[in-house]
């Protein structure tokens, strides 16, 4: 037994090592691209000074910020500091970039997780229902709604929800962060696309599986339909659903930029946009770094879940 266990351990270790190495390369590449693009696209100094500032002022502030140094030198400093977890001082807020980002993170986590949970809780049952009642009225209506949800831009959904549920019906606050009522509209807006995608994918993945031989066998055994669908079919349809769910996390991060702006939600999506406008390099770099890291961690987690769901994918 011992040699076999050892092999599995080694396989798992190799699996992690390669994934981690890939992840580090990805984070480094992303940071470098952002570093270059930000610097090529604009200088923060003119944005900081009043329009009638004399040239000597520009030079002084550039020196203060270090933007007067050659790009390779700036890059070296950036990499060296980033390795130590130091992203520099925010140009706009005049405090450490990392602490700015950390202050904005909880709001995005709250919104993102709620949207995600909402999407899963609504979408999977709907997808299952549509698949089981294929071509019924329920199927047609829910899939039509899902199609709209997938095609409507986040901006439009957000403003529409504000105008209808908040302004006209008066149930919920229009914007801002506060108690749970403030969370409903932005979470719905942010989750809409994900919800629609997951619902549609659940339906098609389940339809595929429901045609499989083992499902027929299960039915032939006389199992109840509910057991057939949930235990035999859904479990086998889970891998594509989990995959798309993980990829959707990236969509959520992107959607947060628009959603947070529409709902005046103080999260890192809005921080990212403002920091780009202000050419606040340190904050943009830190936000991108944190987002890339989150995305990679989630994808790693998903790869582990695959193994749990499907023994065929377990590392050997």
Contact set with other proteins (CB under 8 A): 41-55, 57-58, 60, 64, 92-95, 100, 103-104, 107, 155-156, 159-160, 162-164, 166-171, 173-177, 261-264, 266, 270-271, 274, 277, 279
13 or 71: CB nearest other proteins: 71
Smallest distance, Å, CB 290 to other proteins? Answer: 16
103 or 305: CB nearest other proteins: 103
Integer Cα distance of 308 and 23 in angstroms? 22
45 or 206: CB nearest other proteins: 45
Nearest to 97 by CA among 44, 29, 162, 52: 44
Smallest distance, Å, CB 188 to other proteins? Answer: 15
Instruction: Report the alpha-carbon angle 82-86-87, nearest 5.
Output: 75
Smallest distance, Å, CB 36 to other proteins? Answer: 16
Smallest distance, Å, CB 196 to other proteins? Answer: 19
Q: Which two tokens stand for residue 6?
A: 């050892």
Smallest distance, Å, CB 145 to other proteins? Answer: 16
Instruction: Report the alpha-carbon angle 155-160-166, nearest 5.
Output: 120
Work out the number of other CB atoms within 10 angstroms of the CB of residue 90: 23
Phi, psi of 89 (to 5 degrees): -95, 140
Helix axes 235-262, 97-132, angle to 10 degrees: 130
49 or 293: CB nearest other proteins: 49
Q: Could you say which DSSP state residue 143 is in?
A: H
60 or 219: CB nearest other proteins: 60
């Amino acid at each position: 037994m011992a040699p076999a266990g050892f092999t599995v351990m080694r396989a798992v270790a190799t699996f992690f090592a390669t994934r981690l190495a890939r992840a580090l390369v990805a984070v480094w590449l992303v940071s470098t691209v952002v570093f270059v693009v930000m610097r090529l696209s604009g200088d923060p100094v003119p944005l900081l000074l009043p329009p009638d500032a004399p040239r000597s002022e520009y030079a002084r502030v550039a020196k203060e910020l270090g933007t007067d140094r050659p790009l390779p030198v700036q890059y070296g400093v950036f990499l060296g500091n980033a390795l130590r977890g130091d992203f520099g001082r925010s140009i706009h807020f005049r405090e450490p970039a990392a602490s700015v980002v950390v202050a904005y993170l909880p709001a995005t986590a709250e919104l993102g997780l709620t949207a995600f949970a909402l999407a899963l809780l609504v979408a999977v049952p709907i997808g299952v229902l549509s698949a089981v009642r294929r071509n019924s009225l329920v199927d047609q209506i829910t899939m039509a709604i899902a199609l709209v949800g997938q095609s409507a831009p986040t901006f439009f959904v957000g403003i529409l929800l504000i105008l209808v549920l908040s302004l006209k019906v008066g149930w919920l606050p229009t914007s801002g962060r506060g108690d749970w009522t403030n969370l409903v509209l932005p979470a719905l807006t942010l989750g809409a696309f994900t919800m629609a995608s997951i619902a549609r994918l659940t339906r098609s993945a389940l339809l595929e599986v429901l045609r499989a031989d083992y499902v027929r066998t299960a039915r032939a055994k006389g199992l109840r339909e509910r057991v057939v669908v949930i235990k035999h079919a859904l479990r086998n349809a889970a891998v594509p659903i989990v995959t798309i769910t993980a990829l959707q996390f990236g969509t959520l991060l992107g959607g947060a930029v628009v959603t947070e702006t529409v709902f005046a939600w103080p999260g890192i999506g809005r921080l990212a946009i403002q920091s780009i406008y202000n050419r606040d390099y340190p904050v943009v770099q830190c936000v991108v770094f944190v987002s890339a890291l989150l995305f990679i961690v989630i994808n790693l987690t998903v790869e582990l879940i695959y193994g749990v769901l499907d023994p065929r994918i377990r590392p050997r």
